[in-house]
Structure 1
Amino acid sequence: MKQQFNNKKAALLLGTLISINAFAQNNSPLVLASTSSPLNPIIVTATRTPTKASDVLADNVYIGPEEIEQAGQTSLVELLQRQKGVTISSYGTGGSNASVFLRGTTNNQTLVLIDGVRIDDAINGGTNWSVIPLTIIDHIEIVFGPQSSLYGSDAIGGVVQIFTKKSDGPAKVGASFGYGSYGTSISEASINGSTQGDQKIRYSLAASQTLSMGFNTIAPNNKDGLSASGRTGYVQDSITGRLSQEWSKGQEFGLQFLNSRLNNQLPGFDPQEFLYQQTQNQVSQLGTYSLYSKNQVMENWRSLLQASAQTGTALNHAPGTPDNPAYDSTLNQRQNTYTWQNDFAIGTDVLQVLAERKTQKVSSNQLDYNNGDFNNLTAPYPFLGFSQTRNTNSGAIAYQLKREAHLANFSLRNDSITGYGPQTTGAAAYGYFFTKEWRANINYGTGFRAPTFNDLYYPGYGNTAILPEKSKNTEAGLHYEKPGLDGHVVVFSNSISNLIQVSNSDTCPVGTGIFGCASNVASAKITGSTLSGAVQMSSLSLKGSFTQQNPVNESTNSTLIKQAKQYGNVAGEYLYLKLTTGIGATFSGRRDDFQGANTGMGGYTIFNLYANYDLEKDLSVFARWNNALNKTYQLSYGYNTPGSNVFVGLRYAMK
């Protein structure tokens, strides 16, 4: 019955898009409506060069400024959840730890960039999504499938690149404030623009703050029978800016930065009692900084030199109990990346040559859980820590071919990482336009993920003998695109070997705790297909997607944890004079949170509504109603998600 139900969802989505297509062609001219994404946006992430979306061979998503403005109280992770090929898990509020999964892969297998700067967590892996504020983001690009041949480690499932706000022309000032359920308030202000003339100076500065009282995130079915009282709120402060000068035609030098601080309350436990009877404070800080020089060296040669840094700090503070003292744990990391990218135009083709060096330094001071023997853990609690460094030297070459109806991309990259031999990855893609609207493509690519510092060095868990994860991905797509209408069908197969998981295998080093060590003990295969489409009429725009996948742990012949076999979304927006209204639905099938445990999470469908009304040319009011039907569901077993919640606000934006 469940399979039949999900097939009906897919059929309904397909039928709706076909019906709309017929209606649009027979009854109304298709024109650009007020919509969340431009018809054919420029995508940078897929090739590291600006490319029209219609010429991008990798499956991708573009999230435009309008959709981000309409997000209201929505977090970045929740916004990504509404996109094709994306599912998430989280532990409650917008400040809680969260993960993003691209087409069945894990959070650790997704590379995240902000304005071209990597922000991966070298200690734990993946990205701390909650510390990235949605309010300062201009647009987002998601590229699916292995991209290691362009970006190196971690890009097995794909790449998410976030672009902060900027603009050209006279100075534009913007500000907004909103308030809603759970005592949530969001305020932001920005200014951006540029001078005129030959030596143009571009500038932007944006700051935001989010406060929320939160709610009790521990659900009655928590796997350890835990309970907590009180809310778990958070405060997030962020600032971002950029300044550049085009000192001569085609020659630009600039700098950009982002700093975000998240103070989040989360349920904690007394290590001796192992009960969620106190609230911990977790303070996370993220910083990205870069200097760059873009130079048109010759008519057909463009160069980018960039030096960037990412800093990250996490401080956990537990206030203690009457029987046990308070304690703190800290994580610190810094990552410097030096990139030289050269793009050579050869007719309509582009040859790209890249050299890169990355240095990583981390330090950790975390609570020693006595190898899991909590009964004999006595106060004052002991701490274990480590300090390590790692360097990566990389070289890559790529070629983009465009000849009449033919498109092709080829890329090859080598990453030499401290402690490992060379990691070589490659990709090839071919596309063919049957007509101006119809295109087919086939892609093949390999990827890898280097072990995290915790995988290698954490006392009682780390294992320096483990190897990088490897992946091989094949996909094919059929696409129809014309002004106001597009449809896409993509099938994919991603095989991942050397999966790093916890194991009590014989390969664990001496001194491993009772929980086991990091080991290459599993492999996975993820096969599936995604159907998506969008239509735009004079006042109405609709879009939707449905993904059917089979994410299998081949070592246990079971579904990968936290992964659904079916998921998707539909959305509609209507413009009437000065009023814009919209509705969206996100649905997902059943998921298991832990291997071999009774931690199944049922499927869910949640509905969201929003509206925006223009009071004046530059002034508008907005409202959003998330989870309008108050659906009870879980994204991590034993943790609550927000119920029905509303948010209203006022926005000023110079146009």
Structure 2
Amino acid sequence: MTGPAAPSRPLAAPLRRRAHVLRGIGVCFRLALLLPGIAAAQVEAPSSEGTQDRDEAGAPVSAESTPAEPEAPAETRTVVTATRLPRPLRDVPATTVVIPRDEIERSPTLTQDALVRTLPSAATFRRTPSLVADPTAQGLNLRGLAPSGVARGLVLLDGLPVNDPYGGWVFWRALPRLGLDRIEVVPTGGSALYGSAALGGVVQLISQPIVGVIDADVSVGNQGTGFFGARIADRWKRVGISLEAEGLTSDGYRIVPADQRGSIDANTPSKHLTGQARVEVQATDDLLLTARASLFRETQNGGTRYTVASVDLAWFTGSARLRTQDTGTFELGLYGRTQHFAQNRARVSADRDYEIRSAFQDVPANDQGGSLVWTGPNLTLGGTHVLAAGVDARRAAGTAQELLFPATYTPTSIYARTTRGTQLSGGLFVQDLYTVSSALEFAGTLRWDVWRNRDGYQLESRSDGYTTATDFAPRTAGQLSPRLAARLRPLDWLTLRASVYRAFRAPTLNELYRPFQVGTVLTAANPDLDAERLWGTEAGVETLGPGGLIGRITGFWNVLDAPVTNVTLATPLPDGTTRQRQNLGQARVRGVELGTDWRPARQWTVLAAYTFVDPVVTDAPGQPDLVGRQLPQDPRHRGSLSVTFDEPSLLTATAQLRVVGPQYEDDLNARGMGGAAIVDLFVSRHLFWKVAAFAAVENLFDRSYLAGRAGVDTLAPPFQARVGLRLRDGFNERFSAAERGVPVH
């Protein structure tokens, strides 16, 4: 059943703007279907906030001067995330994994977080997808580095951060899928280039270039699932415009197991709506300007009347890239966001036949930030040097307003709490990418960050009318983050990589000031939290074999000092809180990654990957029982295998196996959750013109396994199936760049 939506601020104006955007997309879509012949081709334009390819000598190459080509072999793809410079994938000195556009198209997954989780080294906090999970449980985790609701990995969209400014989690459904060109994952400490949020690595979503195209997906499935997405883009001489919108609705499923379910337990319905507009202007041959505006609305029900959450988000970005003949390239990026998160919490009887509202939280937040990065021209000194330097800054502010409904009112019962704070952060870095020869390359990076927490305040109101106001003292801290990486290719088929790094993560406003509840477990905030700090190293081997066979093995060792962890308290607090966020001593996370890409024939692709992680608490002052325990929500074993057959004249099919090992819900390792093996399928066939039919199934054999055990057990998604139609029309492919008026350098 659905419950009443949580109160929120008036949203009439944003909703009207979203409606106008959707109507505009619909009109453009219909016109393009009626007039497919009027559009003309153009070659690939520069990516929006993106990157610039370079020739073998390292000189910039205009993206417009190179016609669009089929998906490049994995070893020749250009990536940018690991070094903030465009480099061929096999030349990058740090481990980088790419999910290209064709794999995104063929994936059986429905949501972006589920897509990223098909890589064994990437996960979100819990096993439930964003389709049914509260956004605060969707923190990104890479290589098992102490999972939590707060992400220990940075998520970028075309170079700019999308992590929540208040809590650090990720609104995955706010990231449209049709416009993605690829996803780059760098699962290693990235603070030397990106600062605090990149403690455990970086996931970057890179948009497709703006060329004439119409994309549309529509599908329906069981559990009342319906999806619609559309994207239209075109370019008029030096101006390119892209409009994109997605809508998703689902009735969800009964998330509580049948043997624990009570009369209050129902499905987990949700609705998601996102829209974005992107504009590129090639002001001159050397100056590219871009702007983006995104809107997002989400409502979710956790399965009972009083477990409702909603999000409203508006995000705006702008960037400029200037190339100069003698001094290199300058890239400026600016962004701003305002959002509103609201959540109800419930108090549930032991038999789950009765619930009452226990709390309501209203959390408005906003942030503003920017970065300026300079990439110098090639310098020759004992080889080739490419220098880069950058500076960035961010301001994040938020307020958590709570109404509390105690089980028993006493004169000292707290019925209202308001906390707020502001965090200022910034850093600067310098990097030298030193190519000694085609066989040997070094990358040295050094970054200094400073952050300051200020305006921290808490006001608590009691039933007897007494109020307590607390001002938290401002705190300032800094961190030096070095990284040194090397890539050696003694033979053309053999590449060796190694790196050593230091990274950190400053606590978020959410961890400092906002208490939260999952199931029946209450966790308190902690305004005295310090930053987490990480020392790590990795080393790996990559080989190229016959028939396009690529094999990779990477070992890693990370030591995380003072991780922010939800620690079980020896004595509950007066309000019943049993856990609190604390900096918990030290944890060691070591492991190995294996990966294979194989194309035995033109139609066949085989991808396999496995990650083993050994995450153990090694020091826990005041909590000796935790030493030697496995970190919660962190399975030791994760693996995936996918086989794709792609013959356009016949069909495209992907079979995917995902395996996740046992893990624990809690820090004491008292509540275990078993492993699972899940099979997914995707099949599509061309029907006519540019239209194809497809079917997708997740959890084909309806494997039942646990997602969480926070007071009450919860289930991961059961069998999910959907069928739909897909339109892909690159209507500009029939004309040349000159005919379209695209500037060619």
Distance 2:534 2:574 in 1: 31
Q: 2:140 aligns with which of 96, 100, 107?
A: 100
Aligned to 1:559: 630
Corresponding residue SS for 1:78: helix
Letter of the 1:444 partner, please give it.
Answer: V
Moved more, 33-42 or 230-239: 33-42
- Indicate how the Cα distance of structure 1 residues 540 and 137 shifts in structure 2: closer, same or farther if over 3 A, else same: same
Contact 1:93 1:641 in 2 (8 A): no
Corresponding residue SS for 1:382: strand
Contact 1:281 1:317 in 2 (8 A): yes
Q: 1:519 aligns with which of 572, 582, 592?
A: 582
Alignment of structure 1 residues 385-424 onto 2, 5 Å: 385-404=418-437, 405-418=439-452, 419-424=475-480
Letter of the 2:220 partner, please give it.
Answer: Y
2:644 matches 1:573: yes
Deviation at 1:396, TM superposition (A): 0.8
Deviation at 1:407, TM superposition (A): 1.2
Distance 2:411 2:699 in 1: 44
Aligned to 1:9: none
Contact 1:36 1:63 in 2 (8 A): no
Letter of the 1:177 partner, please give it.
Answer: V
Aligned to 1:349: 385
2:685 matches 1:644: no
Distance 1:147 1:528 in 2: 18
Contact 2:190 2:198 in 1 (8 A): yes
Give the alignment's Cα RMSD to 1 decimal. Answer: 2.9
Deviation at 1:153, TM superposition (A): 0.5
- Indicate how the Cα distance of structure 1 residues 505 and 397 shifts in structure 2: closer, same or farther if over 3 A, else same: farther
Alpha-carbon displacement from aligned partner over 1:498-535 (angstroms, at most 9, x marks no partner): 112245889x9x99975354322231111111110111
Corresponding residue SS for 2:114: helix
Contact 2:537 2:556 in 1 (8 A): yes
Q: Percent identity?
A: 20
Contact 1:189 1:206 in 2 (8 A): yes
Deviation at 1:299, TM superposition (A): 3.8
- Indicate how the Cα distance of structure 1 residues 137 and 35 shifts in structure 2: closer, same or farther if over 3 A, else same: closer
- TM-score if structure 2 supplies the norm length? 0.76
Q: How many residues align?
A: 602
2:701 matches 1:635: no
Aligned to 1:51: 87
Contact 1:306 1:338 in 2 (8 A): yes
Contact 1:36 1:66 in 2 (8 A): no
Contact 1:218 1:227 in 2 (8 A): no
Deviation at 1:554, TM superposition (A): 1.4
Aligned to 2:207: 164
Alignment of structure 1 residues 86-125 onto 2, 5 Å: 86-88=122-124, 89-91=126-128, 94-97=131-134, 98-105=138-145, 106-107=147-148, 108-125=151-168
Alignment of structure 1 residues 244-259 onto 2, 5 Å: 244-259=280-295
Distance 1:221 1:113 in 2: 41
Aligned to 1:540: 604
Aligned to 2:190: 147
Aligned to 1:528: 591
Distance 1:524 1:228 in 2: 39
Contact 2:114 2:129 in 1 (8 A): no
- Indicate how the Cα distance of structure 1 residues 398 and 529 shifts in structure 2: closer, same or farther if over 3 A, else same: same
Corresponding residue SS for 1:141: strand
2:210 matches 1:176: no
Query: 5+ unaligned residues in a row in structure 2: which ranges?
Result: 1-68, 349-353, 453-474, 516-522, 620-626, 731-745
Contact 1:184 1:211 in 2 (8 A): yes
Contact 1:119 1:310 in 2 (8 A): no
Distance 2:299 2:178 in 1: 17
Deviation at 1:318, TM superposition (A): 6.8
Contact 2:629 2:669 in 1 (8 A): no
- Indicate how the Cα distance of structure 1 residues 625 and 291 shifts in structure 2: closer, same or farther if over 3 A, else same: same
- Indicate how the Cα distance of structure 1 residues 619 and 293 shifts in structure 2: closer, same or farther if over 3 A, else same: same
- Indicate how the Cα distance of structure 1 residues 408 and 598 shifts in structure 2: closer, same or farther if over 3 A, else same: same
Q: 2:335 aligns with which of 300, 308, 312?
A: 308
Q: 2:493 aligns with which of 412, 428, 437?
A: 437
Aligned to 2:469: none
Alpha-carbon displacement from aligned partner over 1:42-88 (angstroms, at most 9, x marks no partner): 21111112221111122121112222222355211211221131234
Aligned to 2:671: 599
Alignment of structure 1 residues 219-258 onto 2, 5 Å: 219-220=257-258, 228-258=264-294
Deviation at 1:560, TM superposition (A): 0.7
Corresponding residue SS for 1:635: strand
Aligned to 2:10: none
Alpha-carbon displacement from aligned partner over 1:588-627 (angstroms, at most 9, x marks no partner): 1111111225321111111111111112341111111211
Contact 2:401 2:419 in 1 (8 A): yes
Alignment of structure 1 residues 295-374 onto 2, 5 Å: 295-317=322-344, 328-347=360-379, 348-368=384-404, 374=407
Distance 2:357 2:445 in 1: 55
Deviation at 1:647, TM superposition (A): 1.0
Distance 1:226 1:41 in 2: 52
2:655 matches 1:583: yes
- Indicate how the Cα distance of structure 1 residues 601 and 504 shifts in structure 2: closer, same or farther if over 3 A, else same: closer
Distance 1:400 1:450 in 2: 28
Corresponding residue SS for 2:102: helix
Corresponding residue SS for 1:622: strand
Aligned to 1:497: 561
Corresponding residue SS for 2:714: coil
Alpha-carbon displacement from aligned partner over 1:188-223 (angstroms, at most 9, x marks no partner): 111113234xxx21221111101111111122476x
- Indicate how the Cα distance of structure 1 residues 239 and 53 shifts in structure 2: closer, same or farther if over 3 A, else same: same
Distance 1:546 1:504 in 2: 32
Distance 1:377 1:110 in 2: 43
Distance 2:593 2:644 in 1: 22
- Indicate how the Cα distance of structure 1 residues 138 and 264 shifts in structure 2: closer, same or farther if over 3 A, else same: farther
Contact 2:591 2:613 in 1 (8 A): yes
Letter of the 2:513 partner, please give it.
Answer: Y
- Indicate how the Cα distance of structure 1 residues 345 and 617 shifts in structure 2: closer, same or farther if over 3 A, else same: farther
